[in-house]
Amino acid sequence: MTAASGELLVIRDLVVERPGVRLLDSVALSIGKGETLSLVGESGCGKSLSALAILGLLPEGVRHARGEILFEDEDLARASPRRLRQIRGKSIGLVMQDPMSSLDPVLQIGAQMEEAIRTHLPLSARQARGRALELLDLAGVPEPLRRYGQYPHQLSGGLRQRVSIATAISCTPRLLIADEPTTALDVTTQVQVLDLLDRLRRELSMALLLITHDLSIVARRADKVCVMYAGRVVERAGVDDFFAHPRHPYSKGLLHSSLGAGTPLHHRFDRLPEITGSIASAAGQSGCPFAPRCDQAEAACGKTLSWPGTTDSRDHFSACLHPNPEESA
Ligand SMILES: Nc1ncnc2c1ncn2[C@@H]1O[C@H](COP(=O)(O)OP(=O)(O)OP(=O)(O)O)[C@@H](O)[C@H]1O
């Protein structure tokens, strides 16, 4: 997993902390050009913080302690605030769960899009207006001219999310980070917004980092998946391989608890246990963070702080001491 292999983004050994607490621990992942990587895991496992670390937007009091974030071979973890401002919005776009938090409620849609566009592109006001209307159209916003003069509260949730997507892609970024982009939307609108992201990814040759807790979205939309637990990546794989041969006990539990009877993804999860207990704030603590909830845990699991995990021949990584039964057979 090197930047030289043509990957767009390579994160290695990323550690993020607040005083006395390690929030992200040895996070490693990579996204190829034009690829969709899904980051999954339950609430508080570090998905959003990983995205914020990429963008150089860690919250106050939270700091990057170690590791590289290579974007097109440039280490963003060591980039200046000025350089990060150039990259954000231009080379890397961000779409958040609640469009109201990225849209300014007192500014007309068009005005805020123009502002975002002119921050990065040397366009006149007239050209920026043309570009904004083009982007609204590209993002499937009906009657772009009318919407242009409206305020965010005058739009439905789905339309607001389309506007924030249109703004995020205004400079044709190479990477779009979408943090739970459909969680606040009804089911039909969710599908439309995911379809839109997929279409834009293909048309603009963008890579997509799709943060979600919904494995059915991962199955349908992603090329690769990265499962996080308590600030660590516990499993990383191509999507087909992940659903056919999940390796980490946490992933297996996650699959089991999220797949209803009759879900056609894979039959083998019928035998897997529910995940009991709750996520431990265990990042950085001694031993496997999942051990307290794992039915395979044994004494060794509590003593393996620096367990590096294993990567099999299909580039499928799992941070578990126990091989799958089929691997050890
Ligand atoms: N501003 C902050 N200051 C201190 N700790 C924070 C801050 N934001 C997040 N954290 C901590 O970092 C850890 C990871 O949080 P993060 O928001 O990345 O989780 P998440 O997986 O995105 O969860 P969710 O699905 O609920 O959004 C949590 O333990 C959280 O309490």
Give yes or no for residue 74 having a pLDDT over 50.
yes
Q: Give the model's pLDDT for residue 72.
A: 96
pLDDT at 274 over 70: no
Q: Which of 146-160, 202-216, 261-275 has the lowest mean pLDDT?
A: 261-275
Residue whose CA is closest, atom 24 of ligand 1? Answer: 43
Q: How far is CA 261 from CA 40, 148, 270, in A?
A: 21, 45, 8
Ligand 1 pocket member 20 (CB < 6 A): no
Q: Quick check: 37 pLDDT over 90? A: yes
The pLDDT of residue 14 is 97
- The string over 281-315, giving b where at least 16 C-beta atoms fall within 10 Å of a residue's C-beta and e elsewhere, is ebbbbebbbbbebbeebeeebeebeeeebeeeeee
Q: What is the pLDDT of residues 118-138, one digit of tens each?
A: 999 999 999 999 999 999 999
Residue 329: the pLDDT is 43
Walk across the sheet containing 92-95 and list its strands.
92-95, 175-179, 207-211, 36-40, 224-229, 232-238, 317-318, 310-311
pLDDT at residue 78, as a whole number: 96
Question: Which region among 51-65, 144-158, 179-193, 246-260 has the lowest average model confidence (pLDDT)?
Answer: 246-260
pTM of the entire predicted model: 0.90
pLDDT higher than threshold 90 for residue 296: no
Mutate to test the pocket of ligand 1, among 48, 215, 229 (most ligand atoms within 8 A of CB): 48
Closest ligand 1 atom to Cα of 46: 18
How far, in Å, from the CA of 132 to the mean position of ligand 1? 33
pLDDT of residue 19: 92
Q: State the complex-level ipTM.
A: 0.95
- pLDDT tens-digit readout, 189-243: 999 999 999 999 999 999 999 999 889 999 999 999 999 999 999 999 999 999 9
62 lines ligand 1 (CB under 6 A): yes
- Ligand 1, atom 29, lies closest to the CA of 44
The domain locations on the chain are 3-91+176-328, 96-170
pLDDT band at 174 (very low <50, low <70, confident <90, very high): very high
From the CB of residue 150, how many other CB atoms can be counted at a distance below 10 Å? 15
Over residues 63-75, the mean pLDDT reads 96
Using the atom order of ligand 1, give the atom closest to the CA of residue 211: 22
What's the 47 CA to ligand 1 centre distance in angstroms?
8
The two three-digit tokens of residue 305, written as one number? 């702080």
DSSP 3-state assignment of 235?
Answer: strand
Cβ 45 under 6 angstroms from ligand 1: yes
Ligand 1: atom nearest CA of 60 is 1
Closest approach atom of ligand 1 to CA 44:
19
- Angle (CA) 208 212 216, round 5°: 100
Q: What is the mean pLDDT of the chain?
A: 87
CB 184 within 8 A of CB 98: yes
The pLDDT > 90 percentage for the chain reads 67
**Domain 3-91+176-328: CATH superfamily, name plus number:** P-loop containing nucleotide triphosphate hydrolases (3.40.50.300)
Q: Confidence class of residue 318 from pLDDT cuts 50, 70 and 90?
A: very high
Sign for the pseudo-dihedral over CA of 300, 306, 312, 317: positive
Percentage of the chain surpassing pLDDT 70? 87
Question: Residues 163, 96: contact at Cβ < 8 Å?
Answer: no
Report pLDDT for 179.
95
> Bridge partners of 22?
17
Lowest model confidence (mean pLDDT) among 42-46, 65-69, 81-85, 284-288: 284-288
pLDDT exceeds 80 at position 268: no
Termini Cα distance of the chain:
28
Going by alpha carbons, the residue nearest to atom 7 of ligand 1 is: 59
Q: How many CA atoms lie within 13 A of 8 on its CB side?
A: 20
Query: Among 29, 47, 228, which residue has the most ligand 1 atoms within 8 Å of its CB, making it the best to mutate?
Result: 47
